[in-house]
Structure 1
């Protein structure tokens, strides 16, 4: 390397270091496969951490994530959906009363919890094989603890959800935002609404010409209060509500 090349290299390194350095958990780099994460999902998490630490952006847009990953918005949205669904990320919403601003941000506590459990299992386990099997069951996460994984041969929420998200994207005519994906996941996992009921609520909103999430959520809440649980209940409730026979 001659003097000119050395100077150019030195200037490049200096510029890179001055741009900032993100702190990435080493366990994420070494254990992401044990967490059932793909390489692209891991890189997405790294980018989200970097946006927060270097640029002060707690909720980068899909366009910003596209620019750094080189992947399409729909692919990124799908990966974010999975990370949220499996408990690696959460989306927090809040407001700054002094500035009157509403904000959203990613919460990484689920990721750190999974990494902590993995490191603990590695340290305490006496058998590596048992260690791996035990963690892979736990890595499906806090989602499992919330009853997301349904047993006894019933299709799980994870298997059902993609088709539900696709239907919503078709009706809305665009990819869903991470917050919208979390809303649907919340209907399934927290509110325990059957997928059939969610699709019927979407259908009602389309007929009413009010295709937005808040309206659909109000429909589901109203049905829940009136113990409407399936298509037959919806039909009977609609007839009573509209004064039908």
Structure 2
């Protein structure tokens, strides 16, 4: 192979196929022929040919000009491709736009993300009921189940924060729903939304309680410990 010819091959340039499109074209309703057709239009646009003809596309593909026309009509009708007008130095010309393809891919991926988040949320809710029953050592009462449901659906506390509040209640030796509800309410007031923030708040409270215990008069050491609300830090 001659050097100049070899260099010319690379000078033509390269064409990158988005990985997300490659992995999901079938899931957004395209078959291999339609996918390749769109890629050829995309490649032509990237190369400066904004409106490749069916004849030009047929030269690139193993199908006839008439078949290219059919695919083109189908892709436009189904919203994968559109023809737009562009003003080129006072002359209105038609060009292809594959923006509808990217929109279809976006909405597909967005829906997948929502479905995954919903599945994870549902799984977290199931796990949280199980976790509460494990910590309480018994099945939850209907009223307790309703309270959990209200925390999730009405107050919109995240399952992770509810778990963190349960942990704080266990560590404080006050394992009851009223106390956990007060923890969650105070966290909401203080703008605590992450596990890290909740953990930091809990550590500050316990450090504050230790200081209180250490500074008590000696005559009170043997008396019962008052039921401090850890939230009052």
Normalised-by-shorter TM-score class: 0.3 to 0.5
Q: Which has the higher contact order (CA 8 A, sep 6+)?
A: 1
**So what's the TM-score if we normalise by structure 1?**
0.44
**So what's the TM-score if we normalise by structure 2?**
0.46
